[in-house]
Structure 1
Amino acid sequence: MQYAVTNPATGQTVRTYDPISDADLDAAIAGADDAYRNWARTTKVEERAALIRRVGELHVERKDELANIIVEEMGKPIEQAVGEVEFAGAIYEYYADHAAEFLADEKITLLDGDGSAIVRRSPLGVLLGIMPWNFPYYQVARFAGPNLVIGNTILLKHAEQCPESAAAIHQIFLDAGFPAGAYTNIYASHEQIERVIADPRVQGVSLTGSERAGAKVAEIAGRNLKKVVLELGGSDPFILLSTDDLDAAVQNAVDARLDNSGQSCNAAKRFVVIDDLYESFLDRFTAKLAEVEASDPTSADSALGPLSSLKAAENLDEQVKRAVENGATLVRGGSRDGAFFQTTVLTDVTPENPASKEEFFGPVAQVFRAKDESDAVRIANDTPFGLGSYLYTTDRDQALRVADQMEAGMVFVNVVLADGAELPFGGVKRSGSGRELGRFGADEFVNKKLIRVSNDWSVDA
């Protein structure tokens, strides 16, 4: 395993980073445990919130520098890269603003009226975060922000292709005033990560990544009785049942598919369109996608960069070809130039086609025709994934009815790209378990400790 910055737009390996030694990894675990016991336990939530607020401020102050790093590491168009850094800053600010509220004691009404009781939220200890390359700053923020405010300490293993952004984040935490050990970047191998999960000082693991990685981490965590949060893949449906403005709906569909060059877990990937709108939608959607060409991600007007690596583009190319071999119709695109991939539209993907059960991580859209509302719901749910979903309709009752039937952790009605720091993020089925962001993201790695006292004392004393 090698940690390296390889520019996907040029294929050039720019810098390499040495992996952590076993001795240094042991020291990192010990440092995180020491920081938990001797810093986190002695600070007040307001103090930790102030440090997290500074982390957010430093992200914004350094947004251009940080954005340029990930343009080079994983090919994100520069405008989107700056937007990601700003969103990460907003997440840290959100948790700074709400830390005291999220950690406030929760009173419980006793049925027998004998005394009083509360639930007090306290930290668990050292946590391991395993983060992906597609949103190098945002993914870390939604894990680190709430957990450092709570008083947990963090070991962070970032993707092998994001060593420079990983180092920059680590430096921000130090510059914000966090003590050594509170947040530690580790360039660890898969074998070393198994040791970290098994270490008795580590109390939980959060992973955002592939199904395969999630299954492996969950297996090791389960064997060692560790709490785990998993945010895995998605093949989110975009259901169009009715609209007053088809062009606007089409543009939203394009935006939902091409965010982060199509490399977003909760991007719309399967477009399920009611029969009487299908032909018009397909024609306009295909034409709109054709207008977007992959280009130099350093350009301010780039809307679609290369995929994250040559390997990622080759894998997507194989998926598209396999889909066509199994009966899908290639309506548009399907070509690759190095790590750059054309916007692509597939139709006639049957349930027997492997493509119907796969996640396409890139600018490839599948379009399905639905006979009616119930058929649309059936098609939308016919996937092993259950992360997000999108629904477009002019009928409010229909919106609520269909939303209730979606087998997904999130349903967005008549809106796309509407994630927020305050909104819980996560899925069901093979898309993982647990939630990040919002209040729910601050409630995963805590000890919800019951304190009950007799009539003689008040728990508020």
Structure 2
Amino acid sequence: MEFYSVNPYTGKQVGKYTAQSTEETKKVLEQSGGAFKDWSKQPLSFRTELLQKAGQVLKDNLEDYAKMITQEMGKPISESRAEVNKCAWVCDYYAENASDFLQQEEIKTDATHSYVRHDPIGTVFAIMPWNFPFWQVFRFAAPTLTAGNTGILKHAPNVFGCASMIEDVFKKAGYSPGVFQNLIAHHDQTEMIIAHDAVQAVTLTGSEAAGAAVAQLSGKYIKKSLLELGGNNSFIVWEDADIDQAVKTALTARMLNCGQSCIAAKRFILMEGIYDEFVSKFKTAVSLLKAGDTMDDATQVGPLARKDLADQLQSQVKRSIDKGAELLLGGEQNECFHQPTILGNVKPGMPAFDEETFGPLAAMIKAKNIDEAFELSEKSKFGLGTTVFTKDIEKAMQMAGSVSDGAYFVNELVKSDPRLPFGGTKRSGYGRELAKDGMMEFVNKKTVYVKA
């Protein structure tokens, strides 16, 4: 089977890749299992040294990696550079903190000595998406490999060029063969990979359907799984908020990566008193965004990664309008490009409210008061994150417990940070990445009990 990556801005082919056979895939799995035996015994200081080198490789080759991201999935080159730099940050973060995270935890019992060790578990199989093709991989790989595990990557087919470059990052940093491998495979090999004895856990970032399928297979073979799935984040603006700052933040929260982010703000829930002002200023800000050549530093909005994704977004726009939503800006599609779009008068029951909209579509929703705003926010099968904009910090903090999502941000867009745990609830998945929690996901918390 052949896979092709196509630049969504130019329509030109970027790369062609041949799927590995079943026998070749099995060799990758066996090599990963064999590499684990040596890698897991290497001193942590050696593993963190290599991770620092990987971060430096990313910095040294910033332009090459950023160019590949932009060519394969279409985000503006400035955002691609930021993504690569963030990957270098996560490498540096775990290189500096791994020894603290992995140290044994002493626990007083009636034993002479009792404690918990944090040992690696084996090979972790990573199924990763195209929207942040470097970042999604590194936020898994940095803690997981440093804990002593080995990793196998099955990336999205439209970013196999990025996947190859990521494997090369680890080679250039000095990682031994088999510690991190890129697999060019069709999804029909997934069960065989998960079932393999070398694989001890699976991590997936992707769609709800893909997550459900992988969770089912992981359960069948008794393998741990971590799922980071879709989102339909709300961005709640109270009447006392700094509207100009809220609009500025909302613009990034919705339009970064052309809206192709699980944690993007998608539902803007606005108090009646500030609804018109916010919508007017947000509309002006969106209309000023510069679309164009994704290799141009000045470009702020690019195409969606594939035409089928733009088609799906266009369907959600039209179906929402048919149900009573008001088209305030944009709404047109041309091949992979979809205009930044604002819909007003959005209510539950419309696709723009109920579904994850993976593109530059902002849904404006009116709430009578704060309580109704949070009720509307909770009317979602997803649970990644919520933003609240207000000057009443104390009251906003009191409301944190009423939000069922995995993140709650006050006066800031929901974003991932190596220093903070990241993950969702409900249909957004389970488990946590990043921070200490991300490293603890794939270790054996081994109890040691000694009685003299």
TM-score computed with the length of structure 1 as normaliser:
0.96
Indicate if the aligned counterparts of 1:243 and 1:249 stay in contact, CA closer than 8 A.
no
1:301 partnered with 2:318:
no
CA distance in 2, matches of 1:125, 1:331: 52
Indicate if the aligned counterparts of 1:403 and 1:411 stay in contact, CA closer than 8 A.
yes
> How big is the shift at 1:36?
0.4
> How big is the shift at 1:417?
6.0
1:365 partnered with 2:362:
yes
Describe the superposition over 1:221-257 as per-residue Cα deviations: whole angstroms up to 9, x where unpaired: 1111110000001010001014453112111111110
Indicate if the aligned counterparts of 1:55 and 1:92 stay in contact, CA closer than 8 A.
yes
| Alignment partner, residue 95 of structure 1 | 94
Q: What is the alpha-carbon root mean square deviation over aligned residues?
A: 1.2
Indicate if the aligned counterparts of 1:2 and 1:160 stay in contact, CA closer than 8 A.
no
- DSSP 3-state at the match of 2:156: coil
The count of residues paired between Structure 1 and Structure 2 equals: 452
| Alignment partner, residue 266 of structure 2 | 269
Amino acid of the residue matched to residue 55 of structure 2? Answer: G
What is the aligned counterpart of 1:319 among 299, 316, 327? Answer: 316
Describe the superposition over 1:250-308 as per-residue Cα deviations: whole angstroms up to 9, x where unpaired: 11111110111111110111001111111111111112111114321111011111111
Indicate if the aligned counterparts of 1:214 and 1:230 stay in contact, CA closer than 8 A.
yes
What is the aligned counterpart of 1:338 among 328, 335, 355? Answer: 335
Check 1:417–1:78 CA distance in 2 against 1; reply closer, same or farther (3 A cut): farther
Describe the superposition over 1:155-199 as per-residue Cα deviations: whole angstroms up to 9, x where unpaired: 100110001110011111111111110000001111111210111
Amino acid of the residue matched to residue 333 of structure 1? Answer: G
CA distance in 1, matches of 2:239, 2:28: 55
CA distance in 1, matches of 2:208, 2:2: 22
Amino acid of the residue matched to residue 35 of structure 1? Answer: A
CA distance in 2, matches of 1:70, 1:340: 17
CA distance in 2, matches of 1:41, 1:418: 32
| Alignment partner, residue 51 of structure 2 | 52
> How big is the shift at 1:201?
1.8
| Alignment partner, residue 32 of structure 1 | 32
Amino acid of the residue matched to residue 76 of structure 2? Answer: P
| Alignment partner, residue 280 of structure 1 | 277
Indicate if the aligned counterparts of 2:235 and 2:265 stay in contact, CA closer than 8 A.
yes
User: After the TM superposition, which residues 66-81 of structure 1 pair with which residues of structure 2 at under 5 Å, given as runs?
Assistant: 66-81=65-80
Indicate if the aligned counterparts of 2:385 and 2:408 stay in contact, CA closer than 8 A.
yes
Amino acid of the residue matched to residue 402 of structure 1? Answer: M
- DSSP 3-state at the match of 2:40: helix
CA distance in 2, matches of 1:168, 1:279: 47
> How big is the shift at 1:16?
0.9
1:122 partnered with 2:122:
no
User: After the TM superposition, which residues 192-271 of structure 1 pair with which residues of structure 2 at under 5 Å, given as runs?
Assistant: 192-243=189-240, 245-271=242-268
Indicate if the aligned counterparts of 2:202 and 2:225 stay in contact, CA closer than 8 A.
yes
Indicate if the aligned counterparts of 1:102 and 1:439 stay in contact, CA closer than 8 A.
yes
Which stretch has the larger CA shift, 9-18 or 116-125? 9-18
1:170 partnered with 2:167:
yes
Amino acid of the residue matched to residue 256 of structure 2? Answer: D
Check 1:171–1:369 CA distance in 2 against 1; reply closer, same or farther (3 A cut): same
Amino acid of the residue matched to residue 93 of structure 1? Answer: D
CA distance in 2, matches of 1:316, 1:186: 30
Structure 1 portions without partners, runs of 5+: 457-461
Describe the superposition over 1:346-404 as per-residue Cα deviations: whole angstroms up to 9, x where unpaired: 12222222332100011100111111111010011111100011111111221112222
CA distance in 2, matches of 1:435, 1:245: 32
Describe the superposition over 1:408-445 as per-residue Cα deviations: whole angstroms up to 9, x where unpaired: 10111111265321111100000000011111100101
- DSSP 3-state at the match of 1:442: helix
| Alignment partner, residue 158 of structure 2 | 161
Amino acid of the residue matched to residue 34 of structure 1? Answer: G
CA distance in 1, matches of 2:295, 2:394: 45
